[in-house]
Structure 1
Amino acid sequence: QIPKDPAQRQLRKLTALSDQLQRIHPNVLAKILKQGTVYQNEEIVVINKPYGLPVHGGPGIKNCITDVLPILAKMLENMRAEPLHLCHRLDKETTGVMVLARSKETAEKIRLLFKTRQVEKTYWAIVLGDPDPAEGIVEIPIVEKEVRSHQSHYKMTLAPNYRLCPEDGKVMKIRKNRNAESAVTRYRRLAGASACSLLELQPITGVKHQIRVHLAYGLGCPILGDHKYSHWSKLAPQKLPELTLRRLKLQQSKARHLPLYLHAHRLCLPLGQPIDLVCKPPQFFQNTLRKLELDIAKD
């Protein structure tokens, strides 16, 4: 059943697209990735990763990027081309810059650059609210914890080294959680309107769900469409401000269909001469920026 409401239709289309990516033939998927190529040289191929496409396989996943790398290599080069290699990963819902290597050696070299934090990564995210201050660094360790509720599940969360004592307001050092990983995210507000902000983010470390956790729990500004990190104890759709719903022409009951607005916008790769790679946000992201009146200066 096709919704009459255009905003609803657009969201449904996006969900349908993710489902479609799972159903199409691997050759067709490779062709879509080829069309999304933003840069290539003799060492690397850079694609603009589509929304809703997992990088790795798993239960219930028919199509993923890893599986079509041999086909993509042949389409880009020739039938004798060796498969392309993954150099890093992006979450299923994240769009944007993704680097693939033409050889194992190059892939290992690039993975090491990521591991030793020599790759400069810049993301864009639409978030709820307004970060205060508008620019800064979130430096709070992150750990995975079980959420004990009627729907038991696991989430990444903050594991700060200090907290305020509720009795006297003094700062107390907390015993370090040995499973916590140090996590650092730089952020800057690019625009604000409709009870939302567009942020530019630079994760200095690479902890699982780091940007999502630092924004939701560190700054109190969850990413639009991040239903997982908008509540702690339950798995429920994100609650949106009245103004945001109005601008998106959306009812709160339909908010669960909102995609995650997180885009890997830019990547600077120091391979000999530094390579600056930029991917513009997907159409659904641009449409939402327009609806929310989040205007940014063209860079």
Structure 2
Amino acid sequence: QIPKDPAQRRIRELASLSKRLQQVHPNVLAKVLKQGTVYQNEEIVVINKPYGIPVHGGPGIKNCIADVLPILAKMLENMKAEPLHLCHRLDKETTGVMVLARSKEAAEKIRLLFKTRQVEKIYWAISLGDPDPAEGIVEIPIVEKEVQSHQSHYKMTLAPNYRLSPEDGKVVKIRKNRNAESAVTRYRLLASSSACSLLELQPITGVKHQIRVHLAYGLGCPILGDHKYSHWSKLAPQKLPEVTLKRLKLEQSKARHLPLHLHAHRLSLPLGKQIDLVCKPPLFFLKTLKKLELDIAKE
């Protein structure tokens, strides 16, 4: 059945659009990526990654970015063009700046820049609640753990090096978890309204789901539409504050259709000269900002 409310309809449309993009002929996906090209030179092609498309294939995935790179290269250059190469990854639900290399050598060079933390990455996220303080650094290691519940599943979570002693409230060092990876995220509040915030995020490290985990479990401000990290033990849709639902014209029962509002906004690549790449957020993100009255005119 079609939801009567236009907002709910749009959210459903986005979900079905990303599903369709996963089902379309690879040529169609390649064309969408080509239309989203934001920069190219002799070494790289930079695209604005669409929502809901995985970077890598896997069971049950028909279309992914990796698979259409040969077609995209031909569309951008000519039929003899060698396939483009992936240089880094973005989660399936994340949108924004994605760098592709035209040759294996360029790809290796760029991967090394990412690995040695020479690439500056700036993300935008809409989160529930405001972080306190409004600006800071989250530096808490992250580890993958199995969640024991009626549906057993794996999640990334915090593995802090310190805890507060219940007896005297002093900070005590804990034995380090062998499997934990160190993770550092800078954050800054850009705007807040309707029980939500627009945050600018700079991950210094690149751990899986780092921004999502640091926001949800480190700052207590999960990303809007992050159903995975809004609860610990259960797989359930995110619970939204009344005022947020009202502004989004959404019922709580439809919250599960809300997309993850995390966007790779800017990237600085030191390739000979500094290349600054910017991708504007997707339409659904901009519409949410408007509905929640999160004003980014200053930015």
TM-score range, shorter chain: over 0.9
| Alpha-carbon separation, structure 2, partners of 1:151 and 1:67 | 31
Residue type of the alignment partner of 1:219: L
| Alpha-carbon separation, structure 1, partners of 2:119 and 2:239 | 35
Give the match for residue 108 of structure 1.
108
Unaligned runs of 5+ in 1: none
1:170 is displaced (CA, Å) by 2.0
Residue type of the alignment partner of 2:93: E
Give the match for residue 127 of structure 1.
127
Task: For 1:43-192, list aligned pairs within 5 A.
Answer: 43-192=43-192
| Alpha-carbon separation, structure 1, partners of 2:129 and 2:28 | 40
Three-state SS of the structure 2 residue aligned to 1:217 is helix
Give the match for residue 235 of structure 1.
235
Residue type of the alignment partner of 1:97: V
Give the match for residue 297 of structure 2.
297
Unaligned runs of 5+ in 2: none
Q: Structure 1 stretch 30-39 or stretch 162-171: which is displaced more?
A: 162-171
Kindly indicate whether residue 219 of structure 2 is the aligned counterpart of residue 219 of structure 1: yes
Residue type of the alignment partner of 1:80: K
| Alpha-carbon separation, structure 2, partners of 1:2 and 1:105 | 50
Three-state SS of the structure 2 residue aligned to 1:18 is helix
Q: Please, what TM-score do these two structures have when normalized by structure 1?
A: 0.99
Give the match for residue 210 of structure 2.
210
Q: Structure 1 stretch 110-119 or stretch 27-36: which is displaced more?
A: 27-36
Residue type of the alignment partner of 1:180: A
| Alpha-carbon separation, structure 1, partners of 2:42 and 2:73 | 12
| Alpha-carbon separation, structure 1, partners of 2:90 and 2:3 | 31
Residue type of the alignment partner of 1:235: L
Q: Structure 1 stretch 127-136 or stretch 168-177: which is displaced more?
A: 168-177
Three-state SS of the structure 1 residue aligned to 2:78 is coil
Give the match for residue 266 of structure 1.
266
1:298 is displaced (CA, Å) by 4.4
Q: Please, what TM-score do these two structures have when normalized by structure 2?
A: 0.99
Coordinate RMSD, CA, aligned? 0.7
Give the number of equivalent residue pairs: 299
Give the match for residue 4 of structure 1.
4
Give the match for residue 18 of structure 1.
18
| Alpha-carbon separation, structure 2, partners of 1:161 and 1:207 | 17
1:151 is displaced (CA, Å) by 1.5
User: What whole-Å deviation, never above 9, does each CA across 1:38-95 have from its counterpart, x for those lacking one?
Assistant: 0000110000000000000001000000000000000000010000000000000000
Three-state SS of the structure 1 residue aligned to 2:182 is coil
